[in-house]
Amino acid sequence: MNTKDVNATDNDTTKPNIAFIGLGNMGAPMAENLLKAGYPLSVYDLSAEATERLQQAGASVADSPKDAARHAQVVISMLPAGKHVHSVYLGEGGSDGLLAELAKGTLVIDSSTIAAADARTVAEAASKLGIDFLDAPVSGGTGGAIAGTLTFIVGGEDTAFAKAEPILAVMGKNIFHAGEHGAGQVAKICNNMLLGILMAGTAEAINLGVKNGLDPKVLSDIMLQSSGRNWTLEVYNPYPQVMENVPSSNGYQGGFMSKLMQKDLNLAMQTAEDTQVETPMGAKATELYEAHAIDNGDKDFSSIMARHDSSVLT
């Protein structure tokens, strides 16, 4: 393990060196916003296309997560699932991952959406090494990542959060400190469980009206001014051509993929089971999205509308 104190770096600059690991649909634009703000950035991803995009924007490209973090005071990761976070930070043996290579005092911000238990496991290992770890999942989709208007939901120590906040503010508009390690993940999955329930219910209600002769836009407008009003009706209507610039009016392309909603709902169910909390509506939404994602996993989660009317996909 490197025992050097990260605060004793020879390159004392205003903006810390950042390593960014994971350049998918969310990670790449987040990293680009850091570059635009003047942060020195080293990046790693399995995709050569993704790293080339960031290299052209001004980042240096690394051959591995450890190589990316070699001179970093801050490490940010955006990875697909808990197993990837565990592999990167803890390694296969639990002690030969990236954490073992980081200098004491390094700030690690993981923006992946994973189980709270996984986040706490990595945080505990980091703490033993004198490394500040934050779980900081995001909300806002690819549009928010590109625009730099994401919502960050952060779990971890107050001092680490204070260090991270100026960096997160480059990539996001709303930054919440939800509580201790794992709290960011719990808050995120609670939000997305509710979102899945709302989307499935909104699609069901619109379908009931349409099948009984109502115009979907008229019905949506009525519900928007009534007690059924919710976020999906306001900004993300699931019925085609009711609302402009949403996935339902673009063949359900873009947005938040159904398979990712399924993943988050499963994380919510895992947390509910671990803590013996009853979530019958969350369980039903999970069941619906598991069935829907079999053939429509890459389509936006509002495509759950197709469960009632398959013609919306044509």
Is 135 exposed, middle or buried (CB count within 10 Å of its CB: 0-12, 13-18, 19+)?
buried
Residues 6+ apart with CB under 8 A from 49: none
CA separation for the pair 7, 106 (Å, rounded):
8
CA separation for the pair 208, 19 (Å, rounded):
50
The active-site residue out of 66, 163, 188, 263 is 188
259 carries an active-site annotation: no
Under 8 Å between Cβ of 234 and 195: no
Beta carbons within 10 angstroms of residue 253's beta carbon: 12
Print burial letters for 153-179: b (CB count within 10 Å at least 16), e (below 16).
Answer: bbbbbeebbebbeebbebbbeebbbbe
CA 49 remoteness from chain centre = 21
Q: What are phi and psi of 122, to 5 degrees?
A: -65, -40
Give me the amino acid identity at 242.
V
What are the catalytic residues? 188
